[in-house]
Structure 1
Amino acid sequence: MAEEENRVILHGFWGSPFVKRVEMALKLKGIPYEYVEEDLRNKSPALLTHNPVTKKVPVLVHNGKPVAESLIIIEYIDEVWKTTGPKLLPDDPYKRARVRFWADFLHRQVMEAVLVILKTDGEAQEKAVKELEEKLVVLEGGLKEEGVFGDNGGISSAGMLEIVMCWCFGAYDLGEEVLGVKIVDWEKKAPLVYSWLQGIREIPVVKEIAPPKEKMLATLRFIRQSALESKNLAVSSS
C-alpha cells in the first residue's frame, strides 16, 4: 500500500527539453518513477485527464495527483523529497528567489530566442540571433554576479539552474548542424556561460537521458522544415 501511495509517474515525450528537465531532476534526486511515452498527435486519455488545461507534457503524477509545467514540477520534487538526494534550490529565501528569476529568464526569454532561430530564416533569424546574443551577455553578467560559476567557470553541483540551462542549450551543437552555421560566438559573447554549459553536459545523468543524436537531428530538421513551409504557405496565400 505504501508503495502505491508513493507511486511516481511521468508523462512525457522523448524529445521534449521540458520533459528532460523533469527526468534530470528525478534522476539527480534518485527518485524511482514510471515513464509513460505520449504520442503528441494522439494524446492518451490519462494525459488529457491529468492536464486538461494545456494538454501538454510533462505531467508528473504523484500519489494519483497531477502536477504540470516543468519548472513547477522541479520545485515540487525538491519540496516533497527534501531529504532525498541533493537540493535543487537553495534553502535561503533570497537565493531561492534569485534561482527562480534566472530559471524563468532562461525558460521564457532565452528558450524563445533559440526556438525562433530554429524555425526561421533570413532577417527574422538574424534578428533572433542578435537577441539571443544580447540575452547571453545579460546572463553572463547576472550569473557571474550571483556567484553561480566555480573558480574555473565550471559547476560545483547541479540544481534547478543547471537543469534548465542544460535543456535550453544542451543540444546547441545539433541545432548548428541542422542550420549549417555557428549560431553563437560563445567565446566572445559568453565564455563563462559556455564553460558552465560544458560542465553541465558532462554530468553522468545528462549523458544517461540524452536523446539519440540521429533521432534528435531528424526531429529538429522536421520542426524547422514544417515551420518554414507553414511560413511560405502563409505568404503565398496572402
Structure 2
Amino acid sequence: MHIKGIEYENVFEDLSQKSPQLLQYNPVHKKIPVLVHKGKPICESLVILEYIDETWKKETTPLLPQDPYEKAMARFWAKFVDDKLLPSVWSVFTEKGYEAKKEAFVPAVQNLEIIEEQLKEKKFFGGESIGYVDLALGWMAYLLDVFEEVIDLKLFDAHKFPLLSGWMKNFCDAPAIKQHLPPRDKLVTRFQLFHEKFQTAN
C-alpha cells in the first residue's frame, strides 16, 4: 500500500484469540492478511497484491509486468515462494531438536538456491523497482536473520547467496519499506514465543 501511496488503516489481530471481525471477513481460512476495501474483504497475500495493482493502476509503477509472459512468470515465482520456499524455511523454524532442523535445512537451502538464480544481477526481481515477486518474498528480507537468531542455526550465507543478500539490503533500504518495518527486537521476542510453543507442543 505504501508503494502505491495509498492511505489505509492497519488493524492488528491477536491470532491466539481470533476476533469476530476476522472470522467474518475470512470465514474460509480464518487467517490474516485481509484487505477490506469499500466494505468487501479480499483474502490471501498474493490475491491482495493483484487486487491492489488492478484497483490503483494509475497511482505508481505497476507491481506486475504488462507483458503477458513476464506477468505469468512473476505469478509463477510468487507462487513458488508461497508454496515451496516459505514452508521449507518455516519447517526449519518449527521442527523440534537440532537434528530435525538440520534435516529440514536441506530443502530450504535448495529453494533459496533456485530463487538466487532468478535475480540475474537485477536490483529487484522485476528490474529497478519493487514489484510483485519482491513483495511476495519480502518477509525473507527482514525475518530470516530473526529466525536464525531464535533457533541458533545459520540458514543464510551471504557468500553463497550474493544476489539475494544484495536484494535483501535493497528491499529493506527502500523508503516505502524501511519506514514501516517492525522493530527487530519485538520480532525476536515474538518469534521466541512461537518457537517455544512449537518445541514444547506434543
Q: How many residues align?
A: 201
User: Would you say the 8 A contact 2:23–2:30 is kept in 1?
Assistant: yes
More helix by share: 1
Q: Which amino acid aligns with 2:57?
A: K
* Partner Cα separation in structure 2 for residue 150 and residue 85 of structure 1: 18
Deviation of the 1:109 alpha carbon = 0.9
Aligned to 1:212: 183
Does the Cα contact within 8 Å between 1:58 and 1:68 map onto a contact in 2?
yes
Q: Distance in 2 between matches of 1:154 and 1:43?
A: 36
Q: Could you tell me the percent identity over the aligned residues?
A: 38
1:191-233 CA-to-partner distances (Å, cap 9, x unmatched) read: 2122112211111122222112221111111111110111xxx
TM-score when scaled to structure 1?
0.78
Which string of whole-angstrom CA distances, capped at 9 and with x for unpartnered residues, describes residues 103-126 of structure 1? 111111111111111112323211
The separation in 1 between residues aligned to 2:37 and 2:88, in whole angstroms, is: 33
Structural mapping, 1:172-191, within 5 Å: 172-188=144-160, 190-191=161-162
Q: Does residue 40 of the first structure (1) align with residue 15 of the second (2)?
A: yes
Cα separation, 2, equivalents of 1:52 and 1:154: 34
Partner of residue 74, structure 2: 99
Q: Say which of 57, 61, 74 aligns to 1:86.
A: 61
In 1, the alpha carbon distance for the partners of 2:153 and 2:22 equals: 38
SS at 1:60's partner residue? strand
2:98 alignment counterpart? 122
2:10 aligns to what SS in structure 1? strand
Q: How does 1:189-200 map to 2 (within 5 A)?
A: 190-200=161-171
Counterpart residue identity of residue 125, structure 1: K
Structure 1 stretch displaced more, 81-90 or 162-171: 162-171
Q: CA offsets per residue over residues 132-172 of structure 1, 9 Å max, x none?
A: 1111111222342xxx7149x99610111111222134222
The answer on 1:66 being equivalent to 2:38 is no
Structure 1 segments unaligned to the other structure (5+ residues): 1-25
- Using the TM superposition, give the Cα deviation of residue 41 of structure 1 relative to its aligned residue in structure 2, in angstroms: 2.6
Matched, 1:166 2:142: no
Match status 1:29 vs 2:4: yes
How far, CA to CA, are the matches of 1:202 and 1:154 in structure 2? Answer: 17
- The offset of 1:75, in angstroms, is 0.3
Counterpart residue number, 2:118: 142
What's the TM-score, normalizing by structure 2?
0.91
8 Å Cα contact 2:64/2:74 also seen in 1: yes
Q: Which has the larger radius of gyration?
A: 1
The separation in 1 between residues aligned to 2:17 and 2:148, in whole angstroms, is: 30
Contact 1:60 1:68 (C-alpha < 8 Å) held by counterparts: yes
Which ranges in structure 2 are unaligned for 5 or more consecutive residues? Answer: none
